[in-house]
Amino acid sequence: MLELTRVGPAGGPFGPARTRAQPYLWPFCVGVRLWQVQLSPLSLSLISTMASLDDFCLRWNDHHDTFFSAAEHLCRGDFLTDVTLSCGDRYFSAHKLVLSVCSGYFAKLFASRRAPPFTQTIVYLKDVDPKHLELILSYMYRGEINVREEELMDLLNTAKGLQVKGLTDAGDTDLPPIR
């Protein structure tokens, strides 16, 4: 469901002003699909009329869950991937955006080397166990993994080398500056 929250201080034709903590759920006219928001002409005119009275915050309540679920689906289907990670004799397709958000190592790597448009980047990871990379990628896309106890320390060492957020206490968690 799309949540509409009144931001402005004034009341309007729909009742008294609400704070950010009091959502106003739009009961009609707005349909949300995975990749687009569809508004009927009636809702567009209603929104433009209301915009002059109040400001509203539109919030997609399950955006994060939907976004990462779709990203994982795209990666598993090898759709829209823009980087290939190679370690051992295995290759893994991924998205630079997801890798950069989840890893300081990849964020710095991709920010320092801008590839020409429409090219596939290949990153060779020396001394990385393919099983560990597969688990780390799964962690990046899903936010959780199950690891056998005997592999835990080796996996965490690999994650530390790749500066994976949430698995290490890497001090550099900020994204590199935009040039």
Question: What is the per-residue pLDDT for 166?
Answer: 92
Q: Say if residues 24 and 4 touch (Cβ distance below 8 Å).
A: yes
Q: Centre a 10 Å sphere on the Cβ of residue 78 and count the other Cβ atoms it contains.
A: 10
SS3 (DSSP) at 58: strand
pLDDT, tens only, 76-128: 888 888 899 999 999 999 999 899 999 999 999 988 877 676 678 899 999 99
pLDDT in tens, 123-170: 999 999 999 999 999 999 888 899 999 999 999 999 999 999 999 876
| First-to-final CA distance of the chain | 37
Domains of the chain: 2-61 (no CATH), 78-161 (3.30.710.10)
Q: What angle do CA 37, 26, 69 make, to 5 degrees?
A: 45
Question: Is-contact 101 137, C-beta < 8 A?
Answer: no
177 burial level (CB within 10 Å; 0-12, 13-18, 19+): exposed
